[in-house]
Structure 1
Amino acid sequence: MISTQNLTYGYSKKELLFKDLNFTQSAGSIIGLLGKNGAGKSTLLKLISGLLYVKDEQIKVNGYIPHKRDPDFLSDIFFVNDTPFLPSLTIKTYLQIYGALYKSFDIEKMYKILLEFELQEDQNLKKLSHGQQKKFIIAFALSTNCKLLMLDEPTNGLDIPSKSVFRKVLVNSVEDDQLVIISTHQVKDVETLIDKIIVVENGSIVFNEDVYRITEKLQFKILNHLDDISGIIYSEKSPMGYKVILPVNNDEETEMDIELMFNAICNKTEINL
């Protein structure tokens, strides 16, 4: 699906964002792409989608070189930008024009998701609020049934009910032969969705692991105090006490606290899985 070999890219020759980045990913996952501001998450998505150019064949997606913008490549990927640009068209007209560009576009799925998001086909896209525009483009992306979907900060601009609907429609819409990459700072919004975490820092992938593997080896708990508790890998003070990551020492499995996990990685905590 995606393969990068010694990917090197920077917005200037003197300051490289990525240097010799190697990364492969097959279909069948919903990935949480995490990192601090400026880590290169959005840039990586733009490189994968062909919006940015790199020399040679440093990136391949579905066997295509993204920056060549082959029509067959473009018809099977969709990139939802943080601030989507939409024309002054009604939803119905947009679907008639742009739906035809995607070989697996499902109009019935589209209208079902529009109903979930409380959008009507006669609404003009330019007159929608930012949150409504975001809901529309997410609905359209999911309805293309593209093999690769990339969502950059998809929950920005969504209110709490809409975030809940987003999680519902994403889970119900994605098939096993698709790959979804969600780049976000709002990690709690996607905590229950993702099955793999990739963390980018200083132009490198510093963590790349399946969620099931993490929860198989680690426990995430809240403790009243840290006294006499051995084996703590990472801890943070919270209003409820202490959030901690511990190695699994019995058969008890806990849900992953993605924010705690991300903070542990960013604080250079040694995590052995």
Structure 2
Amino acid sequence: MIVIKYLSYGYRKGQQLFEGLNLTLHPGKVYGLLGRNGAGKSSLIKQMAGLLFPVHGSCTLNGREARHRDPDMLEQLFFIPEECQLPPVTIPVFLRIYQGFYPNFNLHQFEEYLRIFRVPPDSHLRRLSFGQKKKVYIAFALAANTAVLIMDEPTNGLDIPSKLQFRDIVRSAGCCDRLTIMSTHQVKDLDNLIDNVIMIDQGQILLQADKAALTEYFSPEPLDLEILFNRVIDQRS
């Protein structure tokens, strides 16, 4: 569980991005953090990952302060940044270095995800394109089987076929106990994966609700998230 209480944060003194923000996220759900560019999505999930620190308030992950990033917390958390930096080594060497940090890592799953992504398992990371590197990062993250998985704009850098592969892999890796958060401004890329919606704009959470309930409220017909987000923004303005 991730619990944010009265969190305030700003990049510069006197310029608050978040002020008194409250949010609770539960295991077993896939949360979509939706917002326009500059809305505060990346800053919010970096607070959850302990990469940014609140000025006031708190952010806890399974009862531990995220900003402390202690080893017991980190082995149950995986964060995929928008820009993935990988060391200049082969995939087998990468595995030997990093898989030991995650006690639930599953090598068979990792190899299967690479196969679906069509990335050769003996590839040298330095020779891969940005999109291919991101596939390796995503495959490793899912195979780590952490209690919390946070993804910042996970489909950026992926072409259309790769986005389809990404959706297939995330669905196949579904876990009833995992808490997954995916931030995006490309709403259609993640529409079919999300079961709970968080909409953020200008550093404020506009709403958090079950996707099916929102769809029923705004339209009697099935409604995609992009239309839903635009309707919420329009109502706010």
- TM-score in terms of structure 1 length: 0.84
State the 1:121 CA deviation: 2.2
State the 1:255 CA deviation: 2.3
For residues 17 and 152 of structure 2, what CA distance do their matches in structure 1 show?
A: 18
Q: Which amino acid aligns with 2:229?
A: F
For residues 163 and 152 of structure 1, what CA distance do their matches in structure 2 show?
A: 15
Deviations 1:16-52 (A, max 9, x none): 1000001111111111101111111000111110111
- Check the 8 A contact 1:87/1:125 in 2, yes or no: yes
The answer on 1:5 being equivalent to 2:19 is no
Name the residue aligned to 2:191: 191
For residues 183 and 218 of structure 2, what CA distance do their matches in structure 1 show?
A: 24
Q: Which amino acid aligns with 1:126?
A: R
Deviations 1:182-217 (A, max 9, x none): 111111111111001101112211111101212333
**Equivalenced residues, count:** 237
Name the residue aligned to 1:38: 38
Q: Once the two structures are aligned, what percentage of the paired residues are identical?
A: 42
Q: Which amino acid aligns with 1:145?
A: N
Name the residue aligned to 2:202: 202
- Check the 8 A contact 2:6/2:56 in 1, yes or no: no
Q: Which amino acid aligns with 1:189?
A: D
State the 1:56 CA deviation: 6.6
Name the residue aligned to 2:145: 145
The answer on 1:111 being equivalent to 2:111 is yes
Q: For residues 3 and 116 of structure 1, do their structure 2 counterparts lie closer, same or farther at Cα, with a shift above 3 Å needed?
A: same
| SS across alignment from 2:169 | helix
Normalized per residue, which structure has more helix? 2
Q: Which amino acid aligns with 2:67?
A: H
- Check the 8 A contact 1:5/1:21 in 2, yes or no: yes
Q: Which amino acid aligns with 1:194?
A: I
- Check the 8 A contact 1:142/1:174 in 2, yes or no: no
State the 1:126 CA deviation: 1.8
State the 1:264 CA deviation: 1.0
Deviations 1:92-115 (A, max 9, x none): 111111011011111110000010
Name the residue aligned to 2:226: 259
For residues 126 and 47 of structure 1, what CA distance do their matches in structure 2 show?
A: 30
Name the residue aligned to 2:26: 26
State the 1:67 CA deviation: 1.1
Unaligned 5+ residue runs, structure 1? 220-247, 249-253
Name the residue aligned to 1:268: 235
Name the residue aligned to 1:243: none
For residues 35 and 92 of structure 1, what CA distance do their matches in structure 2 show?
A: 37
| SS across alignment from 1:164 | helix
- Structure with more relative contact order (C-alpha pairs < 8 Å, separation 6 or more): 2
- Check the 8 A contact 2:9/2:56 in 1, yes or no: no
Q: For residues 50 and 174 of structure 1, do their structure 2 counterparts lie closer, same or farther at Cα, with a shift above 3 Å needed?
A: same
- Check the 8 A contact 1:57/1:65 in 2, yes or no: no
| SS across alignment from 1:198 | strand
Name the residue aligned to 1:52: 52
State the 1:159 CA deviation: 1.1
Moved more, 157-166 or 53-62: 53-62
Unaligned 5+ residue runs, structure 2? none
Name the residue aligned to 2:126: 126
| SS across alignment from 1:72 | helix
